[in-house]
Structure 1
Amino acid sequence: MSSNTKKLKDTPFSVLDLVPILEGKTASDSFKTSLDLAQHVEDWGYKRYWLAEHHNMAGIASSATVVLIGHIAGGTKTIRVGSGGIMLPNHAPLVVAEQIGTLESLHPGRIDLGLGRAPGTDQLTAMALRRDLQGNTEDFPKHVQELLYYLGPEDPEARVRAVPGQGLNVPIWLLGSSTYSAQLAAMLGLPFAFASHFAPAALMAALKVYRDTFQPSKHLQEPYAVACINAVVADTDAEANKLATTLYQSFLNVIRGTAKPQKPPVESMEGLWDASEKYAVQQMLRYTFIGDQATVKEDLQAFLDDTQVDELMFASHIYDHQARLRSYELLAQLGQQA
């Protein structure tokens, strides 16, 4: 699939914010820095700002995803704001439609609804969210179609409708880390976003399935694919590599099953992980772009050549807020260079 048809300067850039809770800080601090980041990336030309639903994680403050979408949309003017994603098994589709319909009514033309089929947490917490695990991920296609109906054109015959919601035609995206959602997105003619920032293995297979089986729909005429990747950009490679140790520590916690607040960078990861842990982290972070502008530009263009995705979405585990802002600013400049 290698080709030079897509260039960084022609590719929209977007942000996935996991709303990290920093060591020694609170969720309230996280919400302030997230809004500040959103306001900056809006000025720098990013297309959309997505927040992801996670539960029972000491280092992530985005559990009430819809509330945060409202917070970010209310403090910005033009950037699209949405979910990357809402974990549909945790919610009744009608409730999601009403919430998203409310957001779209408050911020017309700016809301995206990205849907995932994982619980965004462990089984015990999933049970606490839903009270039982009946009708879980197997109902996902049916629930997606329900949402398409609730947020679709007005139906005067409807016995149940989303108010607000019906008639607003909020864009619905399917998110995935395997080929399952790629296939469903293709079948329904919906845009697709792949979580290659933590599950890189199936990216190429999912993109192929999505493009090969895509059915044009009233929502979308041509396939539209986004890849979410990690980026840590700084003024020098050395600085970026040091900042990236926060990312490594976060993923080390994932592998160990320990939920901890985001930790500051360290001089070296030696002694913090063993060889097998290091390998596991590196596998999860295969699509991670670390370095100065020149380094990252070359690597990102190669990624674009290989994947031919329509949009790049960047997640950034950087402890210091000013350094995180600088990373997104440097990325934005890359996207604007000829």
Structure 2
Amino acid sequence: MSINNKDIKLSILDIGTKLQGNDASQTLKDSTERVQLADELGYSRYWFAEHHNAANQVSTSPELMIAHAAAHTKRIRVGAGGIMMPNHSPLKVVENFSLLKALHPERIDLGIGRATGTDHLTAYALRRSKEAVTSYDFPEQFYEMLSFFQRNFPADHPYRGIIPIPNGGNHSLIPDMYMLGSSTGGVEFAINEGLGFVFASHLAPHLAIPVLKRYHNKFKPSAHNSEPKGIFSTILITAETDEEAEYLAGPVELYWAKLHTGDIHSPFPTLEEASKHVYSVNEKAARAQNKDRFIIGGIQTVAEKLRHIGKEAMVDEVMIMEFYSDKKASHNAYRMLAKEFNLKG
């Protein structure tokens, strides 16, 4: 695959961060405005994450967010980044996403995660099963989900007669599927089943490029995809200049420094709070260690980095994790990126 300066596609990952002064309703309203802007500007897709028992995040049900976003946009693909399989029954995932695909043909993506996205107690409350929380049965869940989608259980399988959604026996209600990864594990499912693959570089920056290269080079074509569809996901903050971008990045840098020093309940900082904060010794160390988790800079600096990443990781799409503390700055950044990469709005 050849990547040139005009080939990078851009997408957005929304984790439903609740900014200070906003309630859940305002947070969801802001997400709706953002996905409509992304649709207008020509972004490829807009995904919603799944987190539970998180003090500052309201994206607990990607399926509901997808249905709402798709109904309020025209062209952009919408999806889950992702559905955390240990929290769900495979049948229910298939039913939900088959319905979404029926409502919005050619616009629905299903990103699949292997983790719970929450703590053990909350995972237990979601599944009501200690075994589901303490054992690792993702492979069984994954292949059961694929079999429900593809209607190809063995003849003697007890689930063979279950019909998730009537579809005339064809595969028209199967969404585009992607494995999510932040290590070397999830990529093997994507390779072997011919699915798309998204690497969360903010969780393991040093692994992102080698794992995405492995995915591209080892990919096995399937009924889902004839060629690899890799996406590099990152936290990105940009503005007109490097200096302005550094200022706008203050809240996310402080937020992650606090997370890595054990403060998981503080609200997402404002620009003013971040600019005035005096870092403790431990926070300074965490901030330094976190530098590679973010891409921060003026639009030209960021564009150069993204084009380099696209070439090195052998991908033509970058997914930006939404982490701005100012809505106007967020919208301006997405407009600048759309212009820089000639997105077709």
Taking structure 1 as the reference length, the TM-score comes to: 0.91
Determine the structure 1 residue equivalent to 2:308.
302
Residues 269-319 of structure 1 show CA distances to partners (whole Å, capped at 9, x for unaligned) of: 675433443343443451422222122122222222322223110113111
Determine the structure 1 residue equivalent to 2:148.
150
Write the letter of the residue equivalent to 1:74. A
C-alpha separation between the residues in 2 aligned to 1:267 and 1:100?
41
1:192 pairs with one of 194, 197, 204? 197
C-alpha separation between the residues in 2 aligned to 1:58 and 1:267?
18
Determine the structure 2 residue equivalent to 1:278.
284
Determine the structure 2 residue equivalent to 1:33.
30
TM-fit CA distance, 1:205: 3.2
Are the aligned partners of 1:57 and 1:260 in contact in 2 as well (CA < 8 Å)?
A: no
Residues 190-212 of structure 1 show CA distances to partners (whole Å, capped at 9, x for unaligned) of: 11000113332321332233234
The alignment status of 1:80 with 2:85, answered yes or no, reads: no
- For the residue of structure 2 that corresponds to 1:197, the secondary structure is coil
- For the residue of structure 1 that corresponds to 2:271, the secondary structure is coil
Determine the structure 1 residue equivalent to 2:213.
208
1:114 pairs with one of 111, 115, 118? 111
Determine the structure 1 residue equivalent to 2:165.
163
Query: Which stretch of structure 1 is more off in the superposition, 178-187 or 267-276?
Result: 267-276
Aligned residue runs from structure 1 range 15-94, under 5 A:
15-94=12-91
Query: What are structure 2's unaligned runs of at least 5 residues?
Result: none
C-alpha separation between the residues in 2 aligned to 1:181 and 1:46?
26
Are the aligned partners of 1:177 and 1:194 in contact in 2 as well (CA < 8 Å)?
A: yes
Aligned residue runs from structure 1 range 313-332, under 5 A:
313-332=319-338
Taking structure 2 as the reference length, the TM-score comes to: 0.89
Q: Percentage identity across aligned positions?
A: 38
- State the Cα RMSD in Å: 2.3
C-alpha separation between the residues in 2 aligned to 1:11 and 1:135?
40
Query: Which stretch of structure 1 is more off in the superposition, 43-52 or 127-136?
Result: 127-136
Write the letter of the residue equivalent to 2:163. R
Query: What are structure 1's unaligned runs of at least 5 residues?
Result: none
In the superposition, relative to structure 1, how do residues 154 and 214 fare at CA in structure 2: closer, same or farther (>3 Å)?
closer
In the superposition, relative to structure 1, how do residues 272 and 133 fare at CA in structure 2: closer, same or farther (>3 Å)?
farther
Write the letter of the residue equivalent to 1:20. T
Write the letter of the residue equivalent to 2:296. I
In the superposition, relative to structure 1, how do residues 49 and 275 fare at CA in structure 2: closer, same or farther (>3 Å)?
same
Write the letter of the residue equivalent to 2:213. K
Write the letter of the residue equivalent to 2:43. Y
C-alpha separation between the residues in 2 aligned to 1:190 and 1:334?
29
- For the residue of structure 1 that corresponds to 2:272, the secondary structure is coil
In the superposition, relative to structure 1, how do residues 268 and 49 fare at CA in structure 2: closer, same or farther (>3 Å)?
closer
- For the residue of structure 2 that corresponds to 1:134, the secondary structure is helix
Residues 239-266 of structure 1 show CA distances to partners (whole Å, capped at 9, x for unaligned) of: 2111111111221232124133322113
Aligned length: 334
Aligned residue runs from structure 1 range 124-143, under 5 A:
124-135=121-132, 138-143=136-141
C-alpha separation between the residues in 1 aligned to 2:293 and 2:224?
29
Are the aligned partners of 1:230 and 1:285 in contact in 2 as well (CA < 8 Å)?
A: no
Query: Which stretch of structure 1 is more off in the superposition, 126-135 or 263-272?
Result: 263-272
C-alpha separation between the residues in 1 aligned to 2:151 and 2:26?
40
